[in-house]
Amino acid sequence: MNDDKNNKPKYSYEELREKYIEKKEERNFPLREFSKDYSIIINFFVTVLVSIGLGLFLGLLLDNKLNTKPLFIILFILLGIAASFRNLFKDINSRK
């Protein structure tokens, strides 16, 4: 019935694990890398749009209260854009 009385596995757990890790590292995942880059770009544009909208809202609010029409609108929009670029560079450096 069973000719092999030794029943010893061909590979040990460590050998199988090493082979699995090697094969996993050999695979190329271009779609995964593309999606990471794409998420950085989408995150940046959403941050820019939200910061411009928030800057516009706060600028209009302060300009109407203080009667200084374009000053705070421009100031807060520029601050929002600068904060967006800062977050972009921070995000890129954290993913390296």
* Whole-number pLDDT of residue 5: 58
Half-sphere exposure of 91 (CA within 13 A, CB side): 16
Q: DSSP labels for 1-54?
A: -----S---SS-HHHHHHHHHHHHHHS--HHHHHHHHHHHHHHHHHHHHHHHHH
Per-residue pLDDT of the chain (96 residues; tens, 9 = 90+): 455 556 777 888 888 888 888 887 767 666 677 777 888 899 999 999 999 999 999 999 999 999 998 999 999 999 999 999 999 899 888 876
User: Does a structural domain hold residue 41?
Assistant: no
Structural domain count of the chain:
1
Q: What is the pTM of this model?
A: 0.63
Task: List the structure tokens of 16.
Answer: 């199988």
Range(s) of the domain holding residue 61 = 47-96
User: Does a structural domain hold residue 16?
Assistant: no
Half-sphere exposure of 86 (CA within 13 A, CB side): 7
